[in-house]
Amino acid sequence: MALNGSPFLVTTIVLALVLTLLALTAWNRLPGPKPVRVGARLLMLAATQGAAVLVVLVLVNNSYAFYDSWSDLVGTQAGAATFESVGVGVRQSSLSAATATPATFRTGSQGLQVSEPVGPRSHIRGQLLVWLPPEYDEPAHAGERFPVVVLLPGQPGTPMSWFDAMNGQDELARLVEAHQARPMILVAAKSNTLGTDDAGCTDLPKGPKTDTWLAEDVPAIVKSRFRVSNDPYDWSVMGYSAGGYCAANLAVHHPDVFHSAVSISGYNMPEATVVLAHPALTKANNPLLVLRRAARQPDIALLLTGSLQDGSTVQDARALVGALRAPATGDVATVQRGGHNMDVWQEMLPTAFQWISRHLR
């Protein structure tokens, strides 16, 4: 049974109800001396409270998509890159360049193309989930090179959250059918290269090169395997929460790769502890500071979205867009109500896909 979704949630609710009914039924019927009865009642209380807490945790996980599978939860899924010392004061990925092999894709759930390649430059073993629009295989589009949207999850989170909790592919297909968006290839990429610790979407001095993985390896792998455009104007990157921060930061630093970016409920100031430990790295990965200090800003388009009830999200979005100067452009989109959760992010998807479509070549 999948960790996410209604079946497991219903199972936990039923379990909580059954344990509660059993406790009520057996409460005054327990045999034995008083200490034994008190101990048994304490165990029943612990069981019912534990079941109730489990229901809440499953509800929260379904809303935020922290963990998408049992292997992700227990840490057996291919996770953080590992590192080993190779010299005094130098640490590199234990995945050497020799282990980097051409990416192979297999068909997974929901028709997704799935791969766990090793980045030739970053040496990160990451996961890629690729959704091809129906038009990709239609004779009318034979030979056509499609635009690409690279999708980044929050922290914690996995690429699959874009296709189960967010239902991004269904939303895009609906918009394309209604002629409100263009057919695009969706590429959900692993960005949590330190597992449950936030890697900050950067190349860390003593850690994984997440920036290199996302800005160099992922595009190169996708271009080598699928019929996609080579024009940066046809490449966009979108993320929610920490992934939203990462999307904007990638576009600011790599306008030759991503012309447009969508930050859904993101932020401007790096929050990863491993980044904040390096003041220079922190400044270099604050897109607001980078744009303000740029003699000439990059040719990019940014969409910053957020809920007015979600802390400083909208304030950060307005500050970033307000700092843009030609040729850079930007827009802010807001919703009136909602917190920092999957329901709000799903609500913003139609606006995001429509906006991306308008900024393609």
CB 247 within 8 A of CB 239: yes
**Which tens digits make up the pLDDT trace of 266-316?**
999 999 999 999 999 999 999 999 999 999 999 999 999 999 998 999 999
Q: What's the confidence (pLDDT) of residue 12?
A: 87
Q: Where are the alpha helices (DSSP H) in the chain?
A: 6-26, 34-64, 70-74, 168-177, 210-212, 218-225, 242-253, 273-276, 279-284, 287-293, 313-322, 342-358
Q: What's the confidence (pLDDT) of residue 4?
A: 60
Would the pLDDT of 70 be above 80? no
| 70-78+99-358 CATH fold | Rossmann fold (3.40.50)
By CB neighbour count within 10 A (0-12 exposed, 13-18 middle, 19+ buried), where does 143 fall? Answer: exposed
Q: What is the mean pLDDT of the chain?
A: 86
The residue ranges of every structural domain in the chain are: 6-64, 70-78+99-358
How many residues in the chain?
361
* Positive or negative torsion for Cα 226, 264, 346, 16: positive
Write the CB contacts of 21 (distance below 8 Å, at least 6 apart in sequence).
none
Return the closest-CA partner of residue 66 out of 188, 204, 242, 184: 242
**Which tens digits make up the pLDDT trace of 47-58?**
888 888 888 877
AA identity, residue 242: A
Would the pLDDT of 333 be above 50? yes
**Which tens digits make up the pLDDT trace of 131-189?**
999 999 999 999 899 999 999 999 888 899 999 889 999 999 999 999 999 999 999 99
Q: What's the confidence (pLDDT) of residue 63?
A: 52
22 or 112, greater pLDDT: 112
Write the CB contacts of 340 (distance below 8 Å, at least 6 apart in sequence).
241, 265, 307, 310, 311, 313
Whole-number Å distance between alpha carbons of 312 and 250: 21
